[in-house]
Chain A
Amino acid sequence: MLLINCPWCGPHNESEYHYGGQAHVPYPDNPAELDDRQWAEYVFYRDNPKGPFAERWMHSHGCRRWFNALRDTVSYEVLATYRLDEPRPEPRVTDPAGEQR
């Protein structure tokens, strides 16, 4: 079970949270000008990286607020959590030797 640090409530178990998929997906600036392909991109296509991934979580059994997390999709380590109005932090990645780079 993941231990996720809610920016408002502190660390709680994964089962208290709801997952919201990729973070930082902006609503189109000029929606009336998008063609079908661009709408498909916005609605259905998301990044699916192997490694650090910025994603949305909601503390549904706590403060019920959305926030963002940077999480490694291979190790499942939660590298950082941050408020929606904060920028994506640089990934802190630990290599197999335990050195941070």
Chain B
Amino acid sequence: MTAQPQPAPPEHPDFLWRNPEPRSSYDVVIVGAGGHGLATAYYLAKEHGITDVAVLEKGWLAGGNMARNTTIIRSNYLWDESAAIYEHALKLWEGLPEELDYDFLFSQRGVLNLAHTLQDVREGMRRANANRLNGVDAEWLDPDQVAEVCPILNVSPHTRYPVLGGTFQPRAGIAKHDHVAWALARRADEMGVDLIQGCEVTGFVKDGEKVVGVETNLGRINAGRVGLAAAGHSSVLAERAGVRLPVQSHPLQALVSELHEPVHPTVVMSNHVHVYVSQAHKGELVMGAGVDSYNGYGQRGSFHVIEEQMAAAVELFPIFARAHVLRTWGGIVDVTPDASPIISATPVENLFVNCGWGTGGFKATPAAGLTFAHTIATGEAHALNAPFALDRFTTGALIDEHGAAAVAH
């Protein structure tokens, strides 16, 4: 047993947020009360003093992908643009529990990205060097060093795809996703933001080529500006406003085991055999793998994907061979052609979009919120999200993180 026992989860504040009726008009309407929507509202209020804001959520607060992700936070991306925004997010994460006065169990236990082939080794070394040049903490570990970081990992040369090494980002980690959403929601609410659940946007009110409001199941809500943060449903929503987005929605599933004593001290990801595993504070093993290849909105994934990820997990972690799966679930992720997000104005005036985070939106939550709030408030891109504009698909200035993102899409 190498991992330290975890502290008991902290108590929640006795009041989180109001549950107001929507007003007829707001300066800004955000569609989607997941992590990104809530963070956007929080930073609109905090950084720009814009508090006449409603966040509309068709289900319940943070009940979509925010409730379904595998909570991993890291910034070891290859390209400069990605490293900049994810590293900024990580720096924000490091201050956020204190800033929000809410202990959401942010735990910097590190992330290992394993290499199983010569190509993996070369990619990993290149990425670690690129990370260091961008001020991201990263090191290359040989198999013995990998075993020192995570002793339960099987690094013997006799597995089908032996561990040939790995990159390690010590400042990476996990956070309790639900608590993150509640922490952001509580502060946004305190500053006057209306969080409205059970409110589905069914259409947009336009004045010429300008959006001036949204139609919802609770009636029309006028808005000076509208920001979409709807993850897997971004293209469905944008289409209602007459905007076509270069995203495809795919099911991405994850699973947890029953509770175990703390045995897994870090986060392990393997792109090649394709599984990622961490242990939650309570003791569940949290595992994920790739998206299903086909488009889908069904919030469930294929069994063979789980079968392959479990086979990979058991080969890497023989100690988990007899762990039982407690539950599985699926989210719908919006994948762009270059596996990088879109935080951008749209061809419709006053309509902005934050989408295309694919399989990795959770780690970006604070930076996505900060930059999207900046774009909505000023009408201009923040330096961090300028490269992630919609027009890159026309200009060809793509940020191709397929494979380089350290996880396959």
Interface residues, chain A, CB within 8 Å of chain B? 1-2, 13-15, 18-19, 21, 36-37, 39-40, 43-46, 48, 50, 53, 55, 71, 73-76
Q: Which residue of the partner chain A has the closest CB to B302?
A: A1
The SS class assigned to the A binding surface is mixed
Q: B297–A50 contact, CB under 8 A?
A: yes
Q: A40–B302 contact, CB under 8 A?
A: no
How many angstroms from the CA of A50 to the CA of B299 in the assembled complex? 12
Q: A76–B304 contact, CB under 8 A?
A: no
Given contacts A37-B394, A48-B235, is CB(A15)–CB(B248) below 8 Å?
Answer: no
Given contacts A14-B302, A21-B248, A45-B246, is CB(A73)–CB(B394) below 8 Å?
Answer: no
Q: Which of B236, B394, B396 contacts A48 (CB 8 A)?
A: B236
Min CB gap A48→B, angstroms: 4
Residue B249, interface by CB 8 Å? yes
How many angstroms from the CA of A21 to the CA of B295 in the assembled complex? 8
Chain B residues in 8 Å Cβ range of A14: 302, 304
Q: Which residue of the partner chain A has the closest CB to B337?
A: A44
Chain B residues in 8 Å Cβ range of A50: 236, 297
Given A36-B396, A39-B394, A44-B246, 7 more contacts at CB 8 Å? A15-B304, A21-B295, A45-B246, A48-B236, A48-B295, A50-B236, A73-B295
The SS class assigned to the B binding surface is loop
Report 8 cross-chain contacts, Cβ distance below 8 Å, ordered by A residue.
Answer: A13-B304, A14-B302, A15-B304, A45-B245, A48-B235, A48-B247, A73-B295, A74-B296
Q: Which residue of the partner chain A has the closest CB to B396?
A: A36
Min CB gap B102→A, angstroms: 35
Most buried by B among A15, A21, A48: A48
Q: Which residue of the partner chain B has the closest CB to A57?
A: B294
Most buried by A among B248, B337, B393: B393
Min CB gap B338→A, angstroms: 9
Given contacts A36-B395, A45-B246, is CB(A55)–CB(B294) below 8 Å?
Answer: yes
Residue B303, interface by CB 8 Å? yes
Residue B13, interface by CB 8 Å? no
Chain B residues in 8 Å Cβ range of A55: 294-295
